[in-house]
Amino acid sequence: MAFNTELTRRLGIRVPVVQGGMMWVGYAELASAVSNAGGLGIITSLTQPTPEDLRKEIRKCKKMTDKPFAVNMTLLPNSNAPDYLGYAQVIVDEGIKIVETAGNVKIKEVIAKVKGEGGAQILHKCTTIRHALAAVKLGVDFLSIDGLECAGHVGETDIPNFILLSRARQSLGNIPYIASGGFADGNGLAGALALGACGINMGTRFMCTLEAPIHHNIKESIVKASENDTHLVLRRWQNTNRYFRNKVTEEAAKVERESTTGKFEEVLPLVSGARGRQVYLNGDPDYGVWSAGMCIGLINDIPSCEKLVSRIEQEALDAIRKQNSYVNERARL
């Protein structure tokens, strides 16, 4: 028994599991390990300071795997915007055929380049059905539906995946979608498939693997955490993020509650990406804000990507067999 979903067929992967495109985590080491294990690994383009550095990282990944892998491009408003089209051109030049996108800055131009010029399939992340339907008009191939449970940018609508995935099933017609947010094991994969998804996207779970390029202390913090150990901050500025709950998020939440000016500049030093990156390097979980999904409560070990993907595959197949056993076809005759 093996998986045969729209995701596995079209992307050429064995297990319908996608590694999330994570800032300061999605390097060639992790992407290649996930792809070699049978899932879809993803390099996060903006972990690289320039388009040419992305080119080097892609070529490094090609040396580490002969399996399909993708590149993530997250396109968000930024006063010092990256050269998005430069990164997109490198993706085309290097023959990358799967691209994960998120956000909406220059999204039309980027999709036109990587899909129109490069022939890539697009997996676009959305937190609402409205945004998903807008992305369909841009010609994306898959939608990655992010529920409230996810790490990082969760949107402002607070819809959990049990509802959001069913709404996607009702509204998206023939456009295939992936479930993202709250997934960490094979039972979650089986549940997502039952809700109409063709696979799952996992970020936090892949952070807690041997190949994830982050400090071991951070992986241990995830293992020790419960589902209550995340924190939603920045809602006041309609930029809600789910972070690991620590001293810095508590301080940021206090500023958010008590600020009389309502200026984002008051909280900015606490939520800077530079401090968050240092967490992964120095191993101090309280040094800055860092993204973590609610599925941290489901994570109890630090396996290799190969062991993790294999385990998820078997758990999901076992769960599907168990579900099939609940149906007595003869009783209907």
CATH number at residue 63: 3.20.20.70
Range of the domain at 136: 6-213+302-325
pLDDT values of the chain reduced to their tens digit, one per residue, 333 residues: 789 999 999 999 999 999 999 999 999 999 999 999 999 999 999 999 999 999 999 999 999 999 999 999 999 877 788 999 999 999 999 999 999 999 888 899 999 999 999 999 999 999 999 999 999 999 999 999 999 999 999 999 999 999 999 999 999 999 999 999 999 999 999 999 999 999 999 999 999 999 999 999 999 999 999 999 999 999 999 999 999 999 999 999 999 999 999 999 999 999 988 899 999 999 999 999 999 999 999 999 999 999 999 999 999 999 999 999 998 877 665
Do 156 and 26 share a structural domain?
Answer: yes
Looking at residue 151, what DSSP letter applies? S
Do 167 and 138 share a structural domain?
Answer: yes
Count the Cβ atoms, other than its own, within 10 Å of residue 173: 8
Do 144 and 40 share a structural domain?
Answer: yes
Distance CA 94, CA 54 (A): 10
Do 270 and 205 share a structural domain?
Answer: no
Do 77 and 164 share a structural domain?
Answer: yes
Do 148 and 15 share a structural domain?
Answer: yes
Do 32 and 79 share a structural domain?
Answer: yes
- Asked if residue 290 is part of any domain, the answer here is no
Do 267 and 127 share a structural domain?
Answer: no
- Asked if residue 161 is part of any domain, the answer here is yes
Q: Which residue type sits at 172?
A: L
- Asked if residue 314 is part of any domain, the answer here is yes
Q: Which residue type sits at 168?
A: A
Q: Which regions of the chain does DSSP assign to beta strands (E)?
A: 17-19, 41-44, 69-75, 98-103, 121-126, 142-146, 152-153, 177-180, 200-202, 230-233, 241-244
Do 17 and 149 share a structural domain?
Answer: yes
- The structure tokens listed for 267 are 């909280």
- Asked if residue 189 is part of any domain, the answer here is yes
Sort strands 69-75 and 41-44 into parallel, antiparallel or unpaired. parallel
- Asked if residue 332 is part of any domain, the answer here is no
- Asked if residue 319 is part of any domain, the answer here is yes
Do 268 and 179 share a structural domain?
Answer: no
Do 313 and 206 share a structural domain?
Answer: yes
Any bridge partners for residue 333, and if so which? none
Count structural domains, the chain: 2
- Asked if residue 207 is part of any domain, the answer here is yes
pLDDT in tens, 47-102: 999 999 999 999 999 999 999 999 999 998 777 889 999 999 999 999 999 999 99
Smallest Cα–Cα separation from 181: which of 156, 158, 204? 204
Do 251 and 118 share a structural domain?
Answer: no
Distance CA 67, CA 48 (A): 22
- Asked if residue 289 is part of any domain, the answer here is no
